[in-house]
Amino acid sequence: MDLTALVQPADTKILLVVMDGLGGYADGEHGTELEEASTPHLDRLAAEGVTGLVEPVGPGITPGSGPGHLGLFGYDPERFELGRGALSAAGLDFELRPGDVAARGNLCTLAPDGTITDRRAGRIPDDVAAAIVNLLQERVRLDGAEVFFRHEREHRVLVVLRGDGLDERVTDTDPQATGVPPLEPEPLDPDAKRTVELVDELDAQVRTFLADQPEANGLLLRGFDTHRHLPGFAERYRLRAAAVAIYPMYRGIARLLGMDVLGRPADLDEQLELLRGAWADYDYFFLHHKGTDSAGEDGDRPRKIAAIEALDAVVPRLRELAPDVIAVSGDHSTPSQMAAHSWHPVPVLLWSERCGRDEAERFGERWCRAGGLGLRPTKDLMAPMLANAGRLRKYGA
Q: For 359-392, how does the pLDDT look when each residue is reduced to its tens digit (9 = 90+)?
A: 999 999 999 999 999 999 999 999 999 999 999 9
In order of 31, 32, 297, 347, the CA distances from 28 in angstroms are: 8, 11, 21, 20
| 206 in a structural domain | yes
Report the relative pairing of strands 374-377 and 50-55 from DSSP bridges.
parallel
Output the average pLDDT for the chain: 95
Cβ-based neighbours of 366, under 8 Å, separated by 6 or more: 26, 31, 32, 35
356 lies in the same domain as 315 = yes
- pLDDT score, position 249: 83
| 75 in a structural domain | yes
| 394 in a structural domain | no
Phi and psi torsions of 197, nearest 5°: -60, -40
| Residues 236 and 383 sit within 8 Å (Cβ to Cβ) | no
- pLDDT score, position 30: 94
Cα angle 59-61-65, degrees, rounded to a multiple of 5 = 125
212 lies in the same domain as 276 = no
Domain of 339, in residue numbers: 4-81+230-388
- pLDDT score, position 282: 98
Report, as an integer, the average pLDDT of 353-361: 95
275 lies in the same domain as 152 = no
**In the predicted structure, residue 291 carries a pLDDT above the cut 90:** yes
**In the predicted structure, residue 82 carries a pLDDT above the cut 80:** no
Phi and psi torsions of 21, nearest 5°: 65, 25
Domain count, the chain: 2
259 lies in the same domain as 315 = yes
Percent of the chain with pLDDT over 90: 87
CB count, 10 Å around CB of 240? 15
| Residues 282 and 255 sit within 8 Å (Cβ to Cβ) | no
- Of 196, 225, 254, at which residue does a domain stop? 225
Nearest to 4 by CA among 54, 75, 68: 75
| 42 in a structural domain | yes
How far from chain centre, in Å, is Cα 232?
18
110 lies in the same domain as 209 = yes
207 lies in the same domain as 270 = no
109 lies in the same domain as 215 = yes
pLDDT tens per residue, range 14-59: 999 999 999 999 999 999 999 999 999 999 999 999 999 999 999 9
**In the predicted structure, residue 264 carries a pLDDT above the cut 90:** yes
159 lies in the same domain as 104 = yes
When pLDDT is cut at 50, 70 and 90, the band that residue 233 belongs to is very high
Report, as an integer, the average pLDDT of 95-122: 94
pLDDT tens per residue, range 294-341: 999 999 999 999 999 999 999 999 999 999 999 999 999 999 999 999
- Of 225, 257, 272, at which residue does a domain stop? 225
| 154 in a structural domain | yes
**In the predicted structure, residue 86 carries a pLDDT above the cut 90:** no
Helix 84-91 vs helix 248-256: angle between axes, to the nearest 10 degrees?
A: 90
32 lies in the same domain as 175 = no
Nearest to 349 by CA among 43, 25, 3: 43
CB count, 10 Å around CB of 278? 15
pLDDT tens per residue, range 147-170: 999 999 899 999 999 999 999 999
When pLDDT is cut at 50, 70 and 90, the band that residue 228 belongs to is confident
122 lies in the same domain as 189 = yes
Report, as an integer, the average pLDDT of 117-127: 93
- CATH number, domain containing residue 46: 3.40.720.10
- pLDDT score, position 397: 79
214 lies in the same domain as 167 = yes
| 397 in a structural domain | no
What is the spatial distance between Cα 89 and Cα 91, in angstroms, rounded to a whole number? 5
**In the predicted structure, residue 230 carries a pLDDT above the cut 90:** no
350 lies in the same domain as 212 = no
When pLDDT is cut at 50, 70 and 90, the band that residue 227 belongs to is confident
- pLDDT score, position 81: 80
| 395 in a structural domain | no
| 196 in a structural domain | yes
- As a residue count, the chain comes to 397
- Of 163, 191, 225, at which residue does a domain stop? 225
